[in-house]
Structure formats: structure tokens, C-alpha cells
Structure 1
């Protein structure tokens, strides 16, 4: 499952539902087994074992085994509220449905097989434009279900480097109901742990700040981008010996959402890509002086 990919319609990314981290692992592991060259149907069973869950999450096999059955049983009862059609081609009424229609637990084999609900199939297949893809490994080590959801919301807007969401919408999407009504508790138990895990375990770095409407905190702004890939130590030493003060010439791709051509043009003598990018981000946030 090392190179397994997750495909979800953006409408499902933004749907309202609540799954525990164990339920998330089961669902995502099964989604990753959907072959892109074969149609997903509501007739096929997708199987995942406790061994696979343990390997992908870095947990003990015994722990994975204990949680697998309980998670699969709860998953059968879980519902999801969908607010848009799979590819955004026309609005739909709010659709309340279930993730799965069948769960089979193999006691001796320590594995679970599930059949996705009929209404869920279009949100996991038949995807043309409005969908999000990411690697299962990106979230495999997370232990917070909120972190998985936050990562998906950021991955959906991966090319922009910023996403602003209202707290009311986020509470609805995460189905927090009456939990954490105080903004301090909401930040302490939902936002901050999710941010920490996205930064620790995913390919993205993320920062956040709150925004007020009047005196009330109403929105969160997430600024994010791809983490800089580690440069081999030998290459770093050679660069340090021969290129100190030389202009940055790699113009492929972007760092923290900033095109490398822009980073190169704004770099100061001896300043690396990452330092330049972070400085530009900081400067962009500062209010203009009149």
C-alpha cells in the first residue's frame, strides 16, 4: 500500500460527516484499493487486513487487530451528508446516506471487507474534474481524525496556498454538533492538534490565523505549501563550497506556493530557496504602509 492513492470527489471532501481515526483508516485503505482502470461498483467487496492497517499507520499489529472489528461495526452505522453532485454539474438537495452497505469481518484472518453504499459510488469513481487526489501515505501516520479532514481540505486547494473557512462551516463539516462551543476549546482540541499533525506527518506545511467579524472569531485562514524536499548532504556541501552567493537557478515548480522564478528574482545574496520563500510570505502578510 506504499504507493496507494486516494481519489475523492471534492463534494465528498466537503461533506458533513464524522469518522474516528480507525474508521478513517479502514475507509481510506479500501478507497485506495479501487483500481482506476476498473469501474467501482456497489457489488464489489474491498478487503483490508489488520496487518495492512498496522503497516500503513506504524502501529502494533495487536492494536490494529483490536480496533479493526470495532471500527468496522461503527462504520456500518456512520452517515454522511452530501451537499453537491460528484463533479459539480448542478446542485443537488442535501443527501443523507451511508458510507457502506455491507461489512464482513473475517475473525480468523483479522481482516474486514466492505461494500460501498450505492450513493457513495459516484463520489469515488466517475470523477472528471472536481476531485482531489493524494497518497494514502500522506495521512497514514496521523492519529487525529480532524487532521485527516483538514489535510484533505488543504489538498483540495493545493495549488492556491491559502484557504479561508468559516468556523461554523468547519464545525458542520466535522459534525462537532454541541462539542467545543467555546472558541478556546475549539482551537485547543480541534484546530491546533490537526495543524500539528499535518505539519508533522504530511507533505504540507501549514500555518493559520483567526479572523474576526466584529468581536467574534468567525473564520480561520490557512496558509500552506509543499515542504521543501531534503537535499542530500553531499550536494549541500558541494553547493556551499562552489555556489555561495550565486543566484538561485532552479525555476521548476514552486515552493510554499511561490513560483521558483519569483523566488530567484527576489533572493538576496547567500539566501536559500526556503529562506527566501518564507521571507516573501512574511512580507506579503504585512500591511502596506501609506
Structure 2
């Protein structure tokens, strides 16, 4: 599987409420990265992920990759997602839709491979996106071992051009489906927030800091400030990272993409802007 695969999601999916394990996240993201966005896609298209792909991409051993893939195949069909959206852009008609990620999933034992079809409801949020979407390299989250870290990275990447995002604890718990858990902020901080931030800082191209905000005496909001990590050209070359004309990786550059813009158009525009500067 190519290492430069791009994940493109509607922001409705980024801000949806769902719970997936790390391996389930990896499978879904690998399949999303295979979606062709320049042609008509139906819910009959099969997307395939091999244990060897996961082992190479995520740095896990083959035996564990085979086991994880088989176990994930059993659970993925039951995984649901709640999406809040406005049909035809009409706020008064806002809907909260409960649906499934996939309509069916097969595990091919002899090949250590999983095949799935995305649900009909999900596909419009993955294809034909011309506005309100988030794009990043799959490799940015591939080494993360926390499902919360992957979600946090996506929530921050959605605001990549801003560099700051404030999230209420209530909203975060809903997005991560933590309702009923971690009623004490100290537990949420220790078990979810701090480990997630640590992994985003370690494995992704973002450098993240955060602080808590109170309403009265109670912590009610988290404020994340973030931006691309500063790397030297020598370090980037040693990491075999393709640099853009602006000196950024593709993941860092994606934050500046305009709706409907191709990678070639984005690189050309940043190169021109850099020359003008």
C-alpha cells in the first residue's frame, strides 16, 4: 500500500459522534484513502485491506496484524455513527442521522485480507467533496495507538488554517461517545486528553499545546493551539519526507487547501506565493 495515501472526509464526518477501536480506525481510514473522488462511486465498490498493509503502515508485527484484522472484521459491521447535517444547506432542516459505517464486511482467512462496502449514507461524505472537507496524509495517524489521538488529530486538522480550536467538554464527550464515563475532569485529563495530545505530538506533523478554561469553578472547555512542527531541511530529507515548494510536508500543506483544489493546483499556488514573498 502506498505510503502517501490521502484521507479526505467531509467535516460532517470529522465532527460526527462514533466510537472505533484503533484497528477499526486504521481499516476505515485505509479504505477511505482508496476512494476515487474524481469519478462516480456507488455503494457496490469493494475496498480491501491486507494484514501486511497494516503491518507495514503501522509498524506492527504480522502475527498481530492478522489477529487484529480478523477481530475487527467481527465488530465493524456493528459500528454505528451519528452525523449531524443540514440537507441542502437549510439550517432549519438540520438532521441527526444514525447509520452504519459499512453495509457488509468479509474476512478472507487464507489471504489475511478484509473487504468492505461503505454504507450508502456514508459515501456522500467521502466522495464528490468540493467544500467543507478535511484532508491529511494517512501516515500522519498510522503509528498512533490511541483511537482518541486519531480523533483529536482530525478535529485539529479541520482547523488547520486557524491554528486554534476551543472544544467544550460536553461536545468532546459526545463526539468520542464518552457519555457516562470520566465524570471527574481529572480522570478525563489523565486517561483521554493527555495521552491523546502526547501521541499527536509524537506521531503527527502537528505540535500541540492545550489549556483548560473554567465556567465558575468548573472546567468546561479545552483550548488547543497547534501548528506544523519546525523541522530542518536535513531532518526532513533524512526522514524521506517529500517537501512542498513552501517547505512543508503534504500533511502540513493540506491545511491551506481550497475547496475542490487538486494537489497539483495547491502546490503550484503555494510555489507562486512563495516566489512572490
When the two structures are superposed, what TM-score results if normalisation uses the length of structure 1?
Answer: 0.78
1:151 CA drift (Å): 0.2
1:253 CA drift (Å): 7.9
Question: For this pair of structures, how many residues does the alignment match?
Answer: 237
Change (3 A) 1:85 1:70: farther
Structure possessing the higher radius of gyration over alpha carbons = 1
User: Deviation above 4 Å: which 4+ runs of structure 1?
Assistant: none
Question: Which structure ranks higher in relative contact order (CA pairs < 8 Å, sequence separation ≥ 6)?
Answer: 2
C-alpha distance in 2 between matches for 1:204 and 1:130: 21
Assess if the C-alpha contact under 8 Å between 1:11 and 1:85 holds in 2.
Answer: no
C-alpha distance in 1 between matches for 2:86 and 2:72: 28
Greater shift after overlay, 36-45 or 17-26? 36-45
* TM alignment of 1:1-290, pairs within 5 A: 1-85=2-86, 89-91=89-91, 92-232=94-234
Assess if the C-alpha contact under 8 Å between 2:37 and 2:129 holds in 1.
Answer: no
Cα deviation digits, residues 75-97 of structure 1 (max 9, x gap) = 110000001148x8234311000
Assess if the C-alpha contact under 8 Å between 2:38 and 2:128 holds in 1.
Answer: no
Assess if the C-alpha contact under 8 Å between 1:26 and 1:72 holds in 2.
Answer: no
Assess if the C-alpha contact under 8 Å between 1:54 and 1:64 holds in 2.
Answer: yes
What is the CA RMSD across the aligned residues, in angstroms? Answer: 1.8
Cα deviation digits, residues 116-169 of structure 1 (max 9, x gap) = 001001111121110000000000000000000000000000010100000000
Gaps of 5+ in 2: 238-245, 253-277
Gaps of 5+ in 1: 236-251, 257-290
1:40 CA drift (Å): 2.6
C-alpha distance in 2 between matches for 1:104 and 1:37: 26
Look up the match of 1:280.
none
Cα deviation digits, residues 183-236 of structure 1 (max 9, x gap) = 001000100000000000000000000000000000000000001122328x9x
When the two structures are superposed, what TM-score results if normalisation uses the length of structure 2?
Answer: 0.82
